[in-house]
């Protein structure tokens, strides 16, 4: 499968993706074959259903939110580049990347971008703020069913209180970053991709 899949991937595409995401050539071909195997419609793009077919995602409390994160706003399909761009958030930060060309813009796997990915999971309406309701929805997904709404509400209140600096009862992205400044995001939001 691998050879067939990689042959569908043009060399210049690989180069571009490489530049954009920082994945290595072999990582890209490997992930392409995965992409290809997920792509049941064989149309070079994944739909939500393609993701939903991954059984593990059905038992991931945030599974559907994460699937959504793969799709650009308002679209139902994600092509390989978009797929890779999302995955690139989870590339570990390598030592030699830290000081490399500062003018190339922030890499996708920077701390801020990793946090932004998480932030977006909450921020459904994309107003760059996590409201109490949005937080509550995610909390609801992540806790067992036997916590009452009131309890959850109080947890949400507390959580917002902790992070909310300007008193608008929402968590903005900058407040989000600040609240999580002690968390080792680089480590916790990275997975290893085979080289």
Q: Which residues bind other proteins (CB under 8 A)?
A: 1-2, 30-31, 33-34, 37-38, 40-41, 48-49, 51-64, 66-67, 70, 87, 90, 117-118, 121, 138-139, 141-148, 150-151, 154-155, 158-159, 162-163, 171, 179-180, 182-185, 187-194
Of the pair 81, 103, the CB lying nearest other proteins is at: 81
Q: How far is the CB of 60 from other proteins (least distance, A)?
A: 5
Least Cβ distance, residue 149 to other proteins (angstroms): 9
Q: Which is nearer to other proteins, 99 or 146 (CB)?
A: 146
The closest of 135, 130, 85 to 109, measured between CA atoms, is 85
For other proteins, the closer CB: 1 or 104: 1
Q: Least Å distance between CB 182 and other proteins?
A: 5
* Tokens standing for residue 6: 């990689």
How many residues appear in the chain?
A: 195
Q: Which is nearer to other proteins, 9 or 185 (CB)?
A: 185
Shortest distance (Å) from residue 159 CB to other proteins: 4
Angle (CA) 36-61-130 rounded to 5° is 105
User: Residue 64 contacts by C-beta under 8 Å, 6 or more apart in sequence?
Assistant: 52, 57
Paired residues of 129 in beta bridges: 172
Q: How far apart are CA 34 and CA 14, in angstroms?
A: 15
Tell me the C-alpha distance between 148 and 42, whole Å: 44
Residue 51: CB minimum distance to other proteins, A: 7
Burial class (CB in 10 A: 0-12, 13-18, 19+), 160: buried
> In this complex, which beta carbon is closest to other proteins, that of residue 8 or of residue 58?
58
Q: Which is nearer to other proteins, 173 or 193 (CB)?
A: 193
CA distance 195 to 183: 27
C-alpha 155: how far from chain center: 25
Shortest distance in whole angstroms from residue 9 CB to other proteins: 15
């Amino acid at each position: 499968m691998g050879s067939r899949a990689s042959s569908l991937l043009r060399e210049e595409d690989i180069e571009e993706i490489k530049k954009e995401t920082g994945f290595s050539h072999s990582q890209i071909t490997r992930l392409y074959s995965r992409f290809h195997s997920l792509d049941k419609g064989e149309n070079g793009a994944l739909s939500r259903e393609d993701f939903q077919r991954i059984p593990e995602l059905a038992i991931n409390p945030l599974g559907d939110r994460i699937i959504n994160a793969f799709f650009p706003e308002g679209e139902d399909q994600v092509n390989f580049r978009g797929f890779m761009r999302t995955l690139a958030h989870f590339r570990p930060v390598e030592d030699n990347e830290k000081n490399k060309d500062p003018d190339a813009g922030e890499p996708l796997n920077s701390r801020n971008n990793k946090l932004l990915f998480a932030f977006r999971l909450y921020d459904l309406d994309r107003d760059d703020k996590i409201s109490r309701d949005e937080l509550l929805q995610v909390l609801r997904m992540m806790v067992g069913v036997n916590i009452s709404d009131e309890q959850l509400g109080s947890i949400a209140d507390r959580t917002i209180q902790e992070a909310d600096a300007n008193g608008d009862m929402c968590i903005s992205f900058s407040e989000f970053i600040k609240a999580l400044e002690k968390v080792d995001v680089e480590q916790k939001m990275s997975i290893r991709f085979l080289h």
